[in-house]
Amino acid sequence: MKKKIGFFVGSLRKGSYSKTVAVALSSLFPEEYEPIFIDLHELTMYNQDLDDDGTPPASWTKFREEVKQLAGLVFVTPEYNRSVPAVLKNALDVGSRPYGQNVWDSKPGLVVSVSPGALSGFGANHHLRQSLVFLNVPTLQQPEAYIGNVVNLINDDGTIAENTMGFFKTIIDAYLVFLEKNS
Ligand code: FNR
67-97: pLDDT as tens digits:
999 999 999 999 999 999 999 999 999 999 9
Predicted local distance difference test score (pLDDT) of residue 12: 98
**Dist CA 22 CA 168 (whole Å):** 10
Closest ligand 1 atom to residue 19 Cα is 31
Average pLDDT over residues 49-57: 98
**Total domain count for the chain?**
1
Predicted local distance difference test score (pLDDT) of residue 45: 98
Which of 11, 12, 71, 62 lies closest to 36 in space, CA to CA?
71
Closest ligand 1 atom to residue 77 Cα is 31
CATH number at residue 160: 3.40.50.360
**Cα-to-centroid distance, 93 and ligand 1 (Å):** 21
* Minimum CA distance residue for ligand 1 atom 14: 80
Range of the domain at 147: 3-181
154-164: pLDDT as tens digits:
999 989 999 99
Integer angstrom CA distances of residue 152 from 112, 144, 155: 17, 19, 8
**Phi/psi of residue 40, nearest 5 degrees:** -105, 5
Which of 166, 169, 171 lies closest to 146 in space, CA to CA?
171
pLDDT band, very low/low/confident/very high, at 144 (cuts 50, 70, 90): very high
How wide is the angle at C-alpha 63 spanned by C-alphas 62 and 68, nearest 5°?
100
